[in-house]
């Protein structure tokens, strides 16, 4: 990894490092931070003028690590993050976990407006419309922070141009972990720009299906179990997925991804990729 000058700490180094002149070529400035639970927060930052990406992709972001105990040199500490904002947004948004002993997020959770983060502007990923064949209905399946790429795709006009129905399922342990997603979907209803660009009432295509597994909420259970029993399809008023009409994107923990993949193979859906568009695509929400 390349060694670089530390990102200035906005609270201590502002006199020596004016905000208009970032100390790193890949530094971006934080413009907004929101905390949801003791384990979840979101933030927005400036976007490099030349950076293009497809809604649903991820990038490497991070902070400078601690100085090496002997040499004092510091290296960037980077992790993969789905871009939660859509491709047209002039800023970038991220939705993040706070792992108390996590090398990056133990620090990242303390960022404030005006601080700088490192962002490598090389987006990649499989959760993109290009990796799917045309269909009637798109399903987004998320657990935890796996909602992030769908926060991007739910604000992407192409999602509504390509599909008649958009179903988003989000399974979390606790009810508070659903707040970011619920607020985002609610805000689409009054988003003047999107209603104008995509068409008034575009959000009526969305069917939102949040579930919790360890705290009481209106719908409890893992989405996989709710699909196996048929309850989810009954609640949503749609038939089980089939290759003729349904397309799907999955982003969750490894066990969730694998379980859904097995179920999809039974439905007759084939996994796609950027180079080979098919019926569904999968990405890990984090490495275990």
Ligand X SMILES: NC(=O)c1ccc[n+]([C@@H]2O[C@H](COP(=O)([O-])OP(=O)(O)OC[C@H]3O[C@@H](n4cnc5c(N)ncnc54)[C@H](OP(=O)(O)O)[C@@H]3O)[C@@H](O)[C@H]2O)c1
Ligand Y SMILES: Cc1cc2nc3c(=O)[nH]c(=O)nc-3n(C[C@H](O)[C@H](O)[C@H](O)COP(=O)(O)OP(=O)(O)OC[C@H]3O[C@@H](n4cnc5c(N)ncnc54)[C@H](O)[C@@H]3O)c2cc1C
Residues of this chain that bind ligand X (CB under 6 A): 39, 143-144, 171-174, 213-214, 222, 224, 253, 255-256, 259
- Nearer to ligand X (CB atom), residue 144 or residue 149: 144
Q: Which does residue 193 touch among ligand X, ligand Y, none (CB within 5 to 8 A, set by kind)?
A: none
d(CA 190, CA 73): 49
In angstroms, give the least distance from the CB of 179 to ligand X: 13
| Chain CA centroid to CA 149, Å | 3
Query: Cβ neighbours of residue 9 under 8 Å, at least 6 residues apart?
Result: 115
Min. distance of Cβ 157 from ligand X in angstroms? 29
Looking only at the bridges linking them, the beta strands covering 137-143 and 76-82 are unpaired
Instruction: Enter the tokens of residue 153.
Output: 């795709």
Residue 13 beta carbon to ligand X: minimum distance, rounded to whole angstroms: 33
**Least distance between ligand Y and beta carbon 9 (Å):** 19
Query: Nearest to residue 64, comparing CAs of 15, 145, 2?
Result: 2
Nearer to ligand Y, 106 or 112 (CB): 106
Least distance (Å) between residue 146 CB and ligand X? 8
Structure tokens at 90: 């002039």
**Shortest spacing between CB 14 and ligand Y, in angstroms:** 26
Dihedral in degrees, nearest 10, Cα atoms 269, 82, 210, 189:
-110
Alpha carbon of residue 272 to chain centroid: 19
**Residue 82 contact among ligand Y, ligand X, none, beta carbon within 5 to 8 Å by kind:** ligand Y
Contacts with ligand Y by CB under 6 A lie at: 58, 79-82, 95-97, 99, 102-106, 144-145, 148, 283-288
- Is there a contact between 209 and 168 (Cβ–Cβ < 8 Å)? yes
CB distance 110 to 44 below 8 Å = no
Q: Which does 169 bind (CB under 5 to 8 A by kind): ligand Y, ligand X, none?
A: none
DSSP string, 209-239: EEEESSS--SSBS-HHHHHHTSHHHHHHT-P
Closest to ligand X by CB, 182 vs 222, is 222
Cα dihedral sign, 274-278-279-285? negative
Give the residue with the Cβ less far from ligand X, 39 or 54.
39
If the CB atoms of residues 68 and 173 are measured against ligand X, the closer one turns out to be 173
Pick one of ligand Y, ligand X, none as the site partner of residue 96 (Cβ within 5 to 8 A by kind). Answer: ligand Y
Residue 28 partner contact from ligand Y, ligand X, none using kind-dependent CB cut-offs of 5 to 8 Å: none
> Which one, 103 or 277, has the nearer CB to ligand X?
103
DSSP state for residue 25 in the 8-state scheme: T
d(CA 44, CA 30): 6
- Smallest gap from residue 21 Cβ to ligand Y (A): 28
Q: Cβ closer to ligand Y: 60 or 238? A: 60
């Amino acid at each position: 990894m390349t060694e670089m000058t530390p990102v200035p700490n906005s609270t201590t180094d502002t006199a020596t490092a004016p905000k208009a002149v970032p100390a790193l070529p890949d530094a971006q400035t934080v413009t907004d931070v929101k905390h949801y639970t003791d384990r979840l927060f979101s933030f927005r930052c400036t976007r490099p003028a030349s950076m293009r990406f497809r809604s649903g992709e991820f990038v490497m972001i991070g902070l400078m690590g601690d100085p090496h105990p002997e040499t004092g040199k510091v290296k960037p500490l980077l992790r993969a993050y789905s871009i939660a904002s859509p491709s047209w947004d002039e800023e970038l948004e991220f939705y993040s976990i706070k792992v108390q002993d996590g090398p990056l997020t133990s620090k990242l959770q303390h960022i404030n407006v005006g601080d700088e983060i490192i962002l490598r502007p090389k987006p990649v990923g499989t959760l993109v419309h290009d990796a799917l064949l045309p269909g009637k209905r798109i399903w987004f399946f998320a657990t935890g922070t796996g909602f992030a790429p769908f926060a991007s795709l739910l604000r992407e006009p192409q999602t509504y141009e390509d599909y008649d129905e958009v179903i988003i399922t989000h399974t979390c342990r606790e009810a508070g972990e659903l707040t970011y997603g619920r607020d985002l979907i609610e805000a689409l209803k009054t988003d003047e720009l999107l209603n104008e660009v995509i068409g008034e009432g575009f959000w009526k295509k969305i069917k939102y299906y949040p579930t919790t597994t360890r705290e009481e909420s209106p719908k409890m259970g893992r989405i996989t179990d709710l699909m196996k029993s048929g309850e989810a399809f009954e609640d949503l008023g749609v038939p089980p997925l089939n290759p003729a009409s349904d397309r799907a994107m999955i982003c969750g923990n490894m066990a969730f991804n694998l379980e859904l993949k097995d179920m999809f193979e039974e439905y007759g859906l084939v996994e796609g990729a950027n180079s080979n568009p098919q019926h569904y695509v999968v990405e890990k929400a984090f490495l275990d």
